[in-house]
Amino acid sequence: MTLVDHATDSRTSALEDAHAQLAEAVAGLGYDEGTHAMLSKSRRELTVSIPLRRDDGSIEVLTGYRVQHNISRGPAKGGLRYSPAVTLDEVRALAMWMTWKCALLDVPYGGAKGGVAFDPRQYSTAELERITRRYTSEILPIIGPQQDIPAPDIGTDERTMAWIMDTYSVSQGHTVPGVVTGKPLSLGGSLGRASATSRGVVHIAKAALKSRGIAVSGATAAVQGFGKVGRDGARFLADEGALVVAISDQYGAIHSASGIDIAALSAHVDVTGSVVGFGDADVLGADDLLELDVDVLVPAAVEGVIHAGNAGKVRARIIVEGANGPTSRDADAILASNGVLVAPDILANAGGVIVSYFEWVQANQSYRWEARDVEARLEERMLAAWASVNELARTHDLTLRAAATRLAVSRVTEAHRLRGLYP
């Protein structure tokens, strides 16, 4: 047997940033040390070993995690990530951000996150199914439609959710559609779920542009990442009349001052697997994309891409965070001093959890909503949250991130106060 432990504990910056944001909110709200300690700790953490029989008959053991940060406002909710970069500290940070995101958007959930440390691109479909089903069986005691509801994230998709739903349902003896969201439509998924995060990002981008007096039509945008969030985000921005002048993925970046044809690029990516080599655009350094002179920058890949080393070179007027934690706390201070408006992740990319909530409601009701209803309710929630955050930021002279975190933390704390402390 070969023991493969892809995870390490060396990457703690995301968790440090999450704790720093919480500490700032707690100080601003005047909470005591006990409240701060309660909010900073995960309610439950589970680390599991996942034995895998590879297609060639060899055995590997992967490491998986599920962290439930807070459940005071309802069942835990959060994505499942397959990536070689997954660590327990990363999952802790992402679970905490999910708590604030759900509270900020007034969704009756707490925050959770899961991950398995491996590169899914190096495994067959049959191996991915075995990994998913074994991981699910290991976390069965702490998930369920009233306990913790996983959803897709980096490296996972609706097929992954179908395997989780089936594994959980077999253990219960009947089908339980509400145990996951982001499922295929034929298994109870919601219309509009696949593109919900991207739509939410664009709703916030439009609101941010308006707040700065910039017309959406003709505004320039750069999108880092062409996956779940970036691909549809670029398409929706272009549909609104914006010029998407640069796009990157994990393999490279492209640039066109006249705007990139998103439909043609999507067709190219479907064939080649990357934006690299797209004929109607120039090659661009991946890091250079973050420093382009554009109206809107959408980091929609992974955390920590804008940091103290490059924040001073960012020339975008507005950053709309499609990814979780793409901007470090040191970078936040630099961007604020340079007048860059940052729409934070817990607001900007919340469209996914909003429509996940809608999917969960539909599963509980056994009734499907029309796409127009989903999209209208998504826009209503996103813009209401934007208005609340913008008002708090204006009246208390805060950045949007500080205002969003303070508002979310106050709502979670209020739930704690009303429920009381047991025993």
What CATH number is given to the structural domain containing 290? 3.40.50.720
Contact 327, 342 (CB under 8 A): yes
Task: Report helix, strand or coil for 337.
Answer: helix
Q: Are 344 and 322 in contact (CB under 8 A)?
A: no
Residues 214 and 174 in one domain: no
Q: How many CB atoms sit inside 10 A of residue 145's CB?
A: 17
Query: Which of 348, 368, 402 marks a domain boundary?
Result: 348
| Residues 158 and 24 occupy one common structural domain | yes
Return the pLDDT at 2. 40
Alpha helices in 307-399 (DSSP H): 329-337, 345-348, 351-365, 371-396
| Contact indicator for 226, 292 with CB cutoff of 8 Å | no
Q: Is residue 70 part of a domain?
A: yes
CB 29 within 8 A of CB 392: no
Residue 82 lies in a domain: yes
pLDDT of residue 52: 98
Domain match, 159 and 63 both: yes
What's phi and psi for 296, nearest 5 deg?
Answer: -130, 130
CATH code of 145's domain: 3.40.50.10860
* Whether residue 267 is found in the same domain as residue 342: yes
Residue 236: inside a domain, yes or no?
yes
Per-10-residue mean pLDDT, the chain, length 423: 39 80 97 97 97 98 98 97 96 97 96 98 97 98 97 95 98 96 94 93 97 96 94 96 95 95 96 93 92 97 90 97 92 96 96 95 92 95 97 97 98 96 89
* CB proximity list for 46: less than 8 A, separation 6 or greater: 65, 66, 67, 138, 139, 142
Which token pair is 20? 């720093």
Considering the entire predicted model, what is its pTM? 0.91
Residue 109 maps to a domain: yes
Domain end (from 286, 319, 348): 348
Residues 275 and 159 in one domain: no
Residue 98 DSSP SS3: helix
User: Which pLDDT score, from 0 to 100, does residue 7 have?
Assistant: 38
Residue 239 has, within 13 A of its CA and on its CB side, a CA count of: 11
pLDDT of residue 376: 96
pLDDT of residue 303: 85
Domain assignment present for residue 375? The answer is no
């973050």: which residue's tokens? 290
Residue 175 lies in a domain: yes
Contact partners, residue 299, CB within 8 Å, separation at least 6: 224, 225, 290, 305, 306, 319, 321, 322, 323, 326, 327
Whether residues 175 and 203 share a domain: the answer is no
Q: Count up the domains in the chain and report the number.
A: 2
> Which residues carry out catalysis?
113
Write the burial class of residue 184 (CB in 10 Å: 0-12 exposed, 13-18 middle, 19+ buried): middle
Rounded to the nearest 10 degrees, what angle do helices 196-211 and 351-365 cross at?
A: 140
Note whether residue 92 is domain-resident. yes
* 165 shares its domain with 36: yes
Residues 44 and 136 in one domain: yes
Q: Which domain holds residue 232?
A: 196-348
Residues in the chain: 423
d(CA 127, CA 124): 5
**Would 189 be classed as within a structural domain?**
no
How far apart (Å, rounded) are the C-alpha atoms in residues 162 and 180? 8
Among residues 150, 179, 208, the one where a domain terminates is 179
User: Are residues 83 and 223 both part of a single domain?
Assistant: no
Q: What is the pLDDT of residue 144?
A: 97
pLDDT the model gives residue 228: 87
Q: Are residues 169 and 279 in the same domain?
A: no
- In terms of domains, do 218 and 108 share one? no
Closest CA to 379 of 223, 246, 207, 232: 207
Torsion-angle region of 155 (φ positive above 0: left; ψ -120 to 50: alpha; else: beta): left
d(CA 20, CA 409): 13
Same domain for 69 and 137? yes
Best CA proximity match to 401, nearest among 15, 22, 36: 22
Enter the DSSP assignment of 370: P
